[in-house]
Amino acid sequence: MSTRPILRARAAASPTELVTLAVKRRLCLSATYNRNQIRLAPHALYTKHDEWHVDGVVLERDGQAPRELKLGTFKLTGLKALALTAVPFAPEPLFDPQAERYGEDALRVAAQA
C-alpha cells in the first residue's frame, strides 16, 4: 500500500482541513514532528488553550514501527510537512471519543469500529 501523500497542507487545504478529512475518512497523515518523520492515525482534532491539537497514534517513526501503540497529543502547529496519505487506519481501542477534553470544542472525532 502506498504511503505517498495524496494531499498536502497549503497546496489545496489548510492543516485543519487535512486533519478533519483524515479523521472523517480514517486515513493516515504523514508529517515531520520534532525532526522525526511520522505516519499518524489521527483520532481527534480539538482546541485547547486556543490552539489546535490532534490526538492520534503514531504508526511509524522514521520508517520504524513503535515498540507499543499509544495515543498521543500533538500541537497542530508542530506537525510540519503535513500530508494526507491513502493508508487507512482502524480506531485505537485506547481512544475514548467521549473524553472530557474533547467537549464541545472537538471539531472531529473518529468513531469506534
Q: Give the total number of structural domains in the chain.
A: 1
Task: Provide the whole-model pTM.
Answer: 0.85
Task: Please state, in angstroms and rounded to a whole number, the distance separating the CA atoms of residues 28 and 7.
Answer: 11
- For the stretch 23-61, pLDDT in tens is 989 999 999 999 999 999 999 999 988 899 999 999 999
Its domain, for residue 78, covers 5-109
Buried/exposed code over 15-35 (b: 16+ C-beta within 10 A; e: otherwise): beebbbbbbeebbbbbbebee
pLDDT band at 98 (very low <50, low <70, confident <90, very high): confident
